Structure 1
Amino acid sequence: MHLNLKDLGLSGALGHLKDIRRGLEKESLRVDLNGNISKKDHPESLGSALTNSYITTDFSEALLELVTPTFNKTQDCLDFLTDLHSYVHQSLKDEMLWPLSMPCFIESDDEIKIGKYGNSNSGKIKSIYRKGLSHRYGSKMQAIAGIHYNFSFSDNFIKKIQEIKGDSDKSFKQVKSDVYLGVARNFKRYEWLYFLLFGASPSFSESFSDKVKGFKKISNGGLYGEHSTSLRMGDLGYISQIQDDLNISINSIDEYIKDLKGALTKKHHRYEEIGEFLEEERIQLNTSIIQIENEYYSTIRPKRVCPSGERPINILRSEGIEYLELRCVDLDPFSPIGIERSQIDFLDLLLLLCLIKESPPLDKEESTYLKENHRRVINYGRSPDLQIYFEKKEVNAIKLAKSLINQMGETCQELGHFSSEIDHWIKSVKKQEEKIKNLELTPSGKLIKKIIKKGLSHQDLGVGIASEHSDFFQHYSGSLQDEFKKEALMSTEKQANIESEEELSFEDYLKEFLNKVS
């Protein structure tokens, strides 16, 4: 049954929109004052990258990941991330955070130190997994940074949907998973709109130029796409041809788990050629298409909080989907924390639109169209003549974007007082209307204008903005500094305790861990 706002309002469901929960995971490269990738280990003042709840590392020692708890008020989430940035900046010595998704100039993979997580078995798994990524995709690709946006409806909201649909014969777990997968399918249909409006990676360092052709040279160094929006999400970034051929289904939780299990257990000849060991040192966890669940690259993933040592695929099977993780967010260099309020407001509204629009299963033909839309918009999104596929026909992307933004505006009007965020959502829609009228107002448009007008190289652009952000946070007084300091100290103790309690040899632990996939 198709959902609509009238039914949601009459059922009382819309009253639960205030309980939407949001969380952010923001990656940033540490660089020296000249914009070179840091060669230093993860700072001791930030605690243990293995056990700190708020500050960890992603791929490399230099790639920080700042993690917020979940909040039902957007501003609370942004305030927490701002305080976290303040603490990190004030802890760094002669270093800054690179503000762009596409990295600084990196001569070779050897400059990138793979993340270290101590001597515990769980820590070794994290390090070896990253070694595997390096051998499979190269370390430079793993230096690309972004933001993950985690989004969930309240259980009460989904129970109301269950009542509206008359799905009393289904378990709540099944209904919840169906709701999230319906949203995820529609997000795949409309993600191009997000890239157009918020993509912020139209340029890159010449150290990445061996991967692509057809881009314009910046006179002082670097390359850019004249109409590009989010090159991070294309051939330059998190794209794997091997994974591209997987076609992991999001039509049902059972299909998703079945396809994911296949990727976790099926060996791939290219990774078998790399091997699990090099001179008796383990360099991959295994030779499967993906070593663990996190290696699966997608713009949106169904997720559930997973206890340490457990396998996410098993938790998803037994407990169902708990939230959606959006992985398509570029760092916004015009915000000191890499993301602005209107971005989150837009994503919330887009996800609500994805909820109320009909979401049929994705077939092979439509998936092919959507991949092509993705490719076109990240590479040529700001071209006024760009055509994309909609309902199996090619249409003008800008006209379709206007139509969808109008629908989002109408949704805001219908929601009325049901969400405490409504005024911010309306403001965000108006901002997007202005961007569509003038694409130079998009982050990618502003960056290209800055590069061309000021004659800045990709490197100089990043260093200049990083320096501004660093100055801002050096003079910013956060309210959570004591909490972050306490967490850093506790995380160091926690890692030491984990290491002192180990009994199994690593190979036995790994075997047990890999065999947990059922």
Structure 2
Amino acid sequence: MAHSSRLENLLRAGQQGFLRDGLKGLEKESLRLDPDGRIAQTPHPAALGSALTHEWITTDYSEALIELITPPAASAEETLGFLGDIHAYVHQHLEGEILLATSMPIGLDGDDSIPIARYGRSNIGLMKQIYRRGLAHRYGRTMQSIAGVHFNYSINEALWPVLHDLEQPAAELSAFVSEAYFGIIRNIHRHGWLLIYLFGNSPAICKSFFSGRENLATRFAELDPETYYRPFATSLRMSDIGYRNDNQTSLDISFNALDDYIASLEAAIRQPYPPYERIGIKVDGEYRQLNANILQIENEYYSAIRPKQITFSGERPTLALRKRGVRYLELRALDLLGTEPAGVALDELRFLETFVLYCLLEASPPLSTEEKAECSRNSLTVACCGRGPALPLSRTGREVPLAQWAMEIVEHLEDIAAILDEGQAGTPYRNSVQRYRPACQEPELTASARVLRELRDNRETFAEFALRLSREHAKHWLAHRLDKDRLGRFAAEAEASWNRQMQIEAADRLSLDDFLSAYWQQA
């Protein structure tokens, strides 16, 4: 059964049960639309609380791009249930607006139609807005309107001392934990294309996405007069028109150790970039961007997986990692599943957990610059062409059919799923792996293939398809009844979040210039 020495050690010691009960959380973005299906021009609803300080409801890039966050939970059912309750609460306060069901946007009318998020008049709130203004100057606003799901996962804390005792590394426990998380990160880079293949859900796109950038549309075929697509695409969100920036290809961010990761990321934040210097930083008294370097802050580096540590208000993420190590991982390569009211399925969450544990248990040698480039090419190939017949990928320089490699991974996942099912009622984890197994060999069973099939069968444009699903989901959540305690908890947090924002604004003593200077000088 065991495919790795780490798993063999756990099985031999009878300690495999500690693989269970890792904490799961979700961050789910959705574009707010007006009743006619256009991007909302209204502010973030005040009844939902402060986007700056609310624990569970905020905004991402745009004022219209709402982000829903669940607290960490050991149960996938609890995580998804909380996300559903947030949806229901939000829909009670949208006043006729709806949340877009798909990752790729509809209802855009060029960059100017996308309002940048606002977070009040505090220094930290203004900094967040300036960062987004910088993204607009650097990449345009349209790319930032794409939505997705982030899966946050932390290994069961009780597993770490067990592994440390079994493996007897030279590193002390805290350093060992960070090393193990970076091993997971490297393996997710190697194997994460499978998630894009299985859960990619954006093979088509509304033509309005290219408003003002019509030259980019030449890369696509026309599905109907209002829709572009790529015949074998799985995730245009993760393709060359989505969250990929050509200027970042020169970055050599290391995933081989925590210190190397921090050093390479901080170097990028300090590295001047002439095209951004031409934009200017502060022009006519107004900030256009936080700086003119290749990255304004750490979050500008677009990666499918990030090591995370809980940060204090205003604390730099790399400083939090340096001081307190890796706390959890943020898996960012997931499209919204448009057919699911919450944008994510329960079986998907179980599959993702099993996959992350597979990446923990498999050997994970250092990633060379060449292998990182190979991993990136594989992910891009799957995003653009993943359902192509007999599609080959590259594994350490050798071609291997996607289907063959996928089945190899799934066989390992089934063994891990069996461990996760121990003590459960039924076999939910094995069922989740088996649900997606057939798609590994039959591309027409993938989520992206179903989208294209539905568009053709219903003779819908992508915008019509997305709007229909969005309206169906709105009805679903408006009919979802929240229990009294949960409703009270959400209402109390909305009020408390406004109080926290006012306290932050009242406590500011520095000018914005001095605040930003102090931010960069943190040590």
Q: Is TM-score (shorter-chain normalized) higher than 0.5? A: yes
Shift, 1:437, TM fit: 4.3
User: Runs of 5+ in structure 2 lacking a partner?
Assistant: none
Kindly indicate whether residue 450 of structure 2 is the aligned counterpart of residue 446 of structure 1. Answer: yes
Inter-partner Cα distance in structure 1 for 2:234 and 2:369: 26
State the match for 2:21 in structure 1.
Answer: 19
Instruction: Indicate if the aligned counterparts of 1:12 and 1:160 stay in contact, CA closer than 8 A.
Output: no
Instruction: Indicate if the aligned counterparts of 2:61 and 2:117 stay in contact, CA closer than 8 A.
Output: yes
Secondary structure of the residue aligned to 1:19 is: coil
Shift, 1:441, TM fit: 2.5
Instruction: Indicate if the aligned counterparts of 2:270 and 2:293 stay in contact, CA closer than 8 A.
Output: yes
Instruction: Indicate if the aligned counterparts of 1:71 and 1:77 stay in contact, CA closer than 8 A.
Output: yes
State the match for 1:328 in structure 2.
Answer: 333
Whichever residue aligns with residue 493 of structure 1, its letter is N
Inter-partner Cα distance in structure 1 for 2:136 and 2:201: 25
Kindly indicate whether residue 473 of structure 2 is the aligned counterpart of residue 472 of structure 1. Answer: no
State the match for 2:245 in structure 1.
Answer: 240
Inter-partner Cα distance in structure 1 for 2:361 and 2:489: 40
Instruction: Indicate if the aligned counterparts of 1:62 and 1:113 stay in contact, CA closer than 8 A.
Output: yes
Inter-partner Cα distance in structure 2 for 1:85 and 1:423: 28
Whichever residue aligns with residue 25 of structure 1, its letter is E
State the match for 1:505 in structure 2.
Answer: 511
Greater CA deviation, 56-65 or 376-385?
A: 376-385
Instruction: Indicate if the aligned counterparts of 1:21 and 1:151 stay in contact, CA closer than 8 A.
Output: yes
State the match for 1:57 in structure 2.
Answer: 59
Inter-partner Cα distance in structure 1 for 2:512 and 2:263: 28
Shift, 1:239, TM fit: 0.8
2:81 aligns with one of 75, 79, 93? 79
State the match for 2:172 in structure 1.
Answer: 171
Whichever residue aligns with residue 272 of structure 1, its letter is E
State the match for 1:122 in structure 2.
Answer: 124
Secondary structure of the residue aligned to 2:470 is: helix
Whichever residue aligns with residue 141 of structure 1, its letter is M
Inter-partner Cα distance in structure 1 for 2:374 and 2:512: 45
Encode CA deviations 1:97-116: one digit per residue, 9 max, x unaligned: 00110001312111111111
State the match for 1:41 in structure 2.
Answer: 43
Encode CA deviations 1:289-337: one digit per residue, 9 max, x unaligned: 1111111110001110011111111111121111111010100001000
Shift, 1:403, TM fit: 2.3
Encode CA deviations 1:196-239: one digit per residue, 9 max, x unaligned: 11101111121334335332212241211111001101111111
Shift, 1:453, TM fit: 1.6
Instruction: Indicate if the aligned counterparts of 1:158 and 1:176 stay in contact, CA closer than 8 A.
Output: yes
Q: 1:200 and 1:160, CA in 2 relative to 1: closer, same or farther beyond 3 A?
A: same
1:482 aligns with one of 485, 488, 493? 488
Inter-partner Cα distance in structure 1 for 2:370 and 2:508: 50
Whichever residue aligns with residue 500 of structure 1, its letter is A
Q: How does 1:337-416 map to 2 (within 5 A)?
A: 337-413=342-418, 415=419
Instruction: Indicate if the aligned counterparts of 1:398 and 1:436 stay in contact, CA closer than 8 A.
Output: yes
Kindly indicate whether residue 202 of structure 2 is the aligned counterpart of residue 193 of structure 1. Answer: no
Inter-partner Cα distance in structure 1 for 2:150 and 2:332: 5
Q: How does 1:458-469 map to 2 (within 5 A)?
A: 458-469=462-473
Shift, 1:426, TM fit: 0.4
Inter-partner Cα distance in structure 2 for 1:99 and 1:278: 38
Secondary structure of the residue aligned to 1:29 is: strand
Whichever residue aligns with residue 121 of structure 1, its letter is N
Shift, 1:488, TM fit: 0.6
State the match for 2:440 in structure 1.
Answer: 436
Q: 1:384 and 1:50, CA in 2 relative to 1: closer, same or farther beyond 3 A?
A: same
Inter-partner Cα distance in structure 2 for 1:286 and 1:421: 54
Inter-partner Cα distance in structure 2 for 1:10 and 1:398: 32
Instruction: Indicate if the aligned counterparts of 1:145 and 1:330 stay in contact, CA closer than 8 A.
Output: yes
Kindly indicate whether residue 187 of structure 2 is the aligned counterpart of residue 183 of structure 1. Answer: no
Whichever residue aligns with residue 508 of structure 1, its letter is D
Inter-partner Cα distance in structure 1 for 2:456 and 2:283: 46
TM-score (norm 1): 0.96
Inter-partner Cα distance in structure 2 for 1:489 and 1:416: 39
Whichever residue aligns with residue 315 of structure 1, its letter is A
Instruction: Indicate if the aligned counterparts of 1:15 and 1:419 stay in contact, CA closer than 8 A.
Output: no
State the match for 1:284 in structure 2.
Answer: 289
Whichever residue aligns with residue 482 of structure 2, its letter is G
Secondary structure of the residue aligned to 1:91 is: coil
Q: 1:212 and 1:249, CA in 2 relative to 1: closer, same or farther beyond 3 A?
A: farther
Shift, 1:416, TM fit: 6.5
Instruction: Indicate if the aligned counterparts of 1:439 and 1:445 stay in contact, CA closer than 8 A.
Output: yes
Shift, 1:160, TM fit: 1.1
Inter-partner Cα distance in structure 1 for 2:423 and 2:187: 22
TM-score (norm 2): 0.95
Q: 1:421 and 1:136, CA in 2 relative to 1: closer, same or farther beyond 3 A?
A: farther
Inter-partner Cα distance in structure 2 for 1:198 and 1:65: 20
Shift, 1:280, TM fit: 1.7
Inter-partner Cα distance in structure 2 for 1:261 and 1:214: 35
Secondary structure of the residue aligned to 2:218 is: coil
Inter-partner Cα distance in structure 2 for 1:420 and 1:312: 37
Instruction: Indicate if the aligned counterparts of 1:17 and 1:418 stay in contact, CA closer than 8 A.
Output: no
Inter-partner Cα distance in structure 1 for 2:447 and 2:416: 25
Shift, 1:146, TM fit: 0.5
Shift, 1:166, TM fit: 0.8
Inter-partner Cα distance in structure 1 for 2:420 and 2:31: 41
User: Runs of 5+ in structure 1 lacking a partner?
Assistant: none
Instruction: Indicate if the aligned counterparts of 2:26 and 2:79 stay in contact, CA closer than 8 A.
Output: yes
Shift, 1:12, TM fit: 4.7
Inter-partner Cα distance in structure 2 for 1:56 and 1:438: 39
Whichever residue aligns with residue 125 of structure 2, its letter is G
State the match for 2:148 in structure 1.
Answer: 146
1:222 aligns with one of 218, 227, 231? 227
Whichever residue aligns with residue 391 of structure 1, its letter is T
Inter-partner Cα distance in structure 1 for 2:425 and 2:374: 34
Kindly indicate whether residue 499 of structure 2 is the aligned counterpart of residue 493 of structure 1. Answer: yes
Percent identity between the aligned chains?
37
Inter-partner Cα distance in structure 2 for 1:434 and 1:280: 58
Q: Number of matched residues?
A: 515
Q: 1:430 and 1:496, CA in 2 relative to 1: closer, same or farther beyond 3 A?
A: same
Shift, 1:515, TM fit: 1.7
Shift, 1:174, TM fit: 0.9
Secondary structure of the residue aligned to 2:151 is: strand
Encode CA deviations 1:150-172: one digit per residue, 9 max, x unaligned: 101122201111111111x3121
Whichever residue aligns with residue 71 of structure 1, its letter is A
Greater CA deviation, 67-76 or 429-438?
A: 429-438
State the match for 1:92 in structure 2.
Answer: 94
State the match for 1:254 in structure 2.
Answer: 259
Whichever residue aligns with residue 322 of structure 1, its letter is R
Whichever residue aligns with residue 383 of structure 1, its letter is G
Whichever residue aligns with residue 139 of structure 2, its letter is Y
Shift, 1:278, TM fit: 2.9
Shift, 1:417, TM fit: 5.2
Q: 1:321 and 1:208, CA in 2 relative to 1: closer, same or farther beyond 3 A?
A: same
2:520 aligns with one of 490, 514, 517? 514
